[in-house]
Amino acid sequence: MNQQTLCAAIRERKNVLIKYDDDIVERTFSPYIVYTSSKDNETVAGYQVSNPADPLERDKWRMLTIAKLTSVRPGTTTFTVNQSFNPADKVYGNRVVCHVKQNV
């Protein structure tokens, strides 16, 4: 279910509100890509826009294990894709489930 929610947000370029691991408050996250890691973990990568539990942890690229997401819900704000993002980067291997499309 989290994968479907994340892929829908990716298609629409919408931020999501997530709780990760033992989070008490929601983080705002811009999902860019869902893929299976080299350790066979379903992973979402993107920008952490904000984390109220740690205000210094914002505007940072994060790779999060989807199984550790305890809550994922669509946000209302959209994001602009950083043009340096490359879904073909070898870090994502050949196991990409979905990713943002760049403007041409």
Q: Please report whether residue 42 resides in a domain.
A: yes
Low-confidence residues of the chain: pLDDT under 70: 104
Separation CA 66–CA 93 (nearest Å): 17
Separation CA 23–CA 90 (nearest Å): 30
Domain that holds residue 35: 2-99
- Which amino acid is residue 75, in one-letter code? G
Separation CA 27–CA 98 (nearest Å): 21
| Residue 24's CATH number | 2.30.30
Number of domains in the chain: 1
The predicted structure's pLDDT at residue 104: 56
Q: Please report whether residue 104 resides in a domain.
A: no
Separation CA 60–CA 99 (nearest Å): 18
The predicted structure's pLDDT at residue 38: 87
Nearest to 16 by CA among 54, 69, 56, 53: 69
Separation CA 65–CA 41 (nearest Å): 6
- Which amino acid is residue 70, in one-letter code? T
